[in-house]
Amino acid sequence: MYREKLYKSIVHEVEKGILDGKYKLGDKIPSINSWRIKSGLSRSSVLLAMDELISRGLIESEQSVGYFVNSTRVEITHRFLLIFNEFNSFKQDLYHSIQNSLGSGAVTDIVFYNFNRDTFDLLLENMAGKYSVYLVMAGVFKNIEHQLRKLGGVVIVVDSCDDDSVKGVFSSVTQDFAQDTHDALEAGLSQLNHYNEIVLVQSSPKEPMARYDGVQRFCQEYDFTCALIKTMKDMPLRYGVVYLTPEDREIVNIMRTAEKQHMKVGEDFGLVAFNEQELNEILCNGLTTISTDFVQMGKTVVDLVKEKEIKTIRNPWRLILRNSL
């Protein structure tokens, strides 16, 4: 997990004090010892914060007297913290989209909790009050409303959230995994009609089971057989089946088995991945993908920061048809 250097909390507090008018031009800011006691950091860490503020021209030091505000031109309109469950290629698209949409008037920090609830709770506790905007990927975690309220500033839930208590309380830009999967399959109906069964291969606890709800509903409506299995390892492939999976290792399992059985993807069976990444253009001579638009998600998140009312927005999905279907 990435953690910002501890002394930065002092830098952020001085910046916020200047932006809020607490520290005006020429005002003396707290002493080294005051910061040390307040923050619990070492003297050397506090000095690192002062050195950064001096180098940026925000404060100046007067020997034996203290530190004074030298400039009120803090070129920051917002300080964002992104709390992500993990970092991968498609989350990287979201991160860069947010940064590009913000422009130069904001600072963006990012931390990861790696799907660990204890780490998630600790991050929320430690980061409360230090940022003006919090973008939180809560995923499957429940009972988080109270913790999110304590963060202060603007809180926006992104990507997914299974906690109904936060809906309508905080703005959100999220996926509807069941509906998105259903609609994406419906959009590819002409290609799917070459097959007779759809199998979702998924076992990772971090992946939403709601996808299978969408698969089942689509199959009932359009007369396909459907199934949910945990892994294709050591399992034979069957003709006329489309395999859907969000897990890279299952794509490897399926293609290894196809080679052994002399079966051709896109003809003897179909293969569909979730979450677009550049490799999908090459894998399987073009791997069909169901994916939310992470670039658009980033743009929408930044737009929501400017809104005064709470909004819940379903992020758009894409079906990217390639040779594997």
| pLDDT at site 76 | 62
| pLDDT at site 33 | 94
| pLDDT at site 5 | 67
pLDDT exceeds 50 at position 32: yes
Q: What is the pLDDT of residues 277-315, one digit of tens each?
A: 888 999 999 999 999 999 999 999 989 987 878 999 999
| pLDDT at site 3 | 44
| pLDDT at site 108 | 83
| pLDDT at site 60 | 92
Determine how β-strand 288-292 pairs with β-strand 317-320. antiparallel
pLDDT exceeds 70 at position 265: yes
Q: What is the mean pLDDT of residues 38-55?
A: 90
Which residue spans of the chain are classified as CATH 1.10.10.10?
Answer: 8-69
pTM of the model: 0.73
CATH class of this structure's domain 78-174: alpha beta
| pLDDT at site 74 | 75
Which has the minimum average pLDDT: 42-51, 178-187, 194-203? 42-51
Query: Are 157 and 138 contacting, i.e. CB atoms less than 8 angstroms apart?
Result: yes
Kindly indicate the confidence band of residue 105, based on its pLDDT and cuts at 50, 70 and 90: low
What's the chain's average pLDDT? Answer: 90
Q: What is the mean pLDDT of residues 112-136?
A: 90
| pLDDT at site 167 | 85
Which residue spans of the chain are classified as CATH 3.40.50.2300?
Answer: 78-174, 178-292
Q: What is the mean pLDDT of residues 193-220?
A: 95
| pLDDT at site 264 | 97
Return the CATH number of the domain spanning residue range 8-69. 1.10.10.10
| pLDDT at site 2 | 38
Q: What is the mean pLDDT of residues 39-57?
A: 89
Q: What is the mean pLDDT of residues 30-59?
A: 90
Kindly indicate the confidence band of residue 101, based on its pLDDT and cuts at 50, 70 and 90: confident
Kindly indicate the confidence band of residue 217, based on its pLDDT and cuts at 50, 70 and 90: very high
Kindly indicate the confidence band of residue 1, based on its pLDDT and cuts at 50, 70 and 90: very low
Q: What is the pLDDT of residues 138-153, one digit of tens each?
A: 988 899 999 998 887 7
Return the CATH number of the domain spanning residue range 178-292. 3.40.50.2300
Which has the minimum average pLDDT: 125-134, 248-257, 281-290? 125-134
pLDDT exceeds 70 at position 4: no
Q: What is the pLDDT of residues 60-82, one digit of tens each?
A: 999 889 999 998 877 666 778 99
Query: Are 133 and 156 contacting, i.e. CB atoms less than 8 angstroms apart?
Result: yes
pLDDT exceeds 70 at position 202: yes
